Amino acid sequence: MFRTGREVGSTECIAVRYTWRMSSEVRTEQYRALAELRHQIRQFLSEGDRAARAAGLEPQQYLLLLMIRGLPEGQSATIRTLAERLTLKHHSAVELVDRLEANGYVRRTRGRDDRRNVIVSLLPRGERMLEEVARHRINELRSNGHELVRAIDRLLDREGQEASGKRAVKGGAKKRSR
């Protein structure tokens, strides 16, 4: 199919119209914000690993317990689901469940509808261990989470948008009151 000059021109105008605000260059502030976000995430994860170890769990064990307890409503804690949520290979999730089961933190049962599915559930000991670490993590987020949120805001440029929005509102309010 041949295009006329007019069709090509209109397509180019549409592309320019929708991308003119997008900068192809990453600004220095964005690099700084991304680096800060990465730092805050790594710090949060590192502290979580320390909290898990202090409670007597390996970090991956804590994460598996958390995934079991925190699955979205309607999802079963199958080995497949847990492996996907933890971004592990199936056999690695099985090994992790093996260790947790040997320590009395979880139990495996066969699925009612499909006996091939293995459902993992928390035992009271696992619940207690999970709650101990989760309570620590939530308290830490309450006291230090604002730094993580601030890093995300900087990356998404919300602080700049809010500041310019406030200036526009203040300026508009002044004009109306005159």
Model confidence pLDDT, tens digit, residues 54-105: 999 999 999 999 999 999 999 999 999 999 999 999 999 999 999 999 999 9
CA 87 to chain centre: 13
- Which of 49, 47, 69, 51 has its CA nearest to residue 60? 49
**What is the pLDDT, as a whole number, of residue 18?**
53
Token pair belonging to 84: 């996907």
Gap between the Cα atoms of 167 and 165, Å rounded: 5
More confident: 34 or 167: 34
**Per-residue pLDDT tens for 6-32?**
555 555 655 555 555 555 788 888 899
Q: How many residues does the chain have?
A: 178
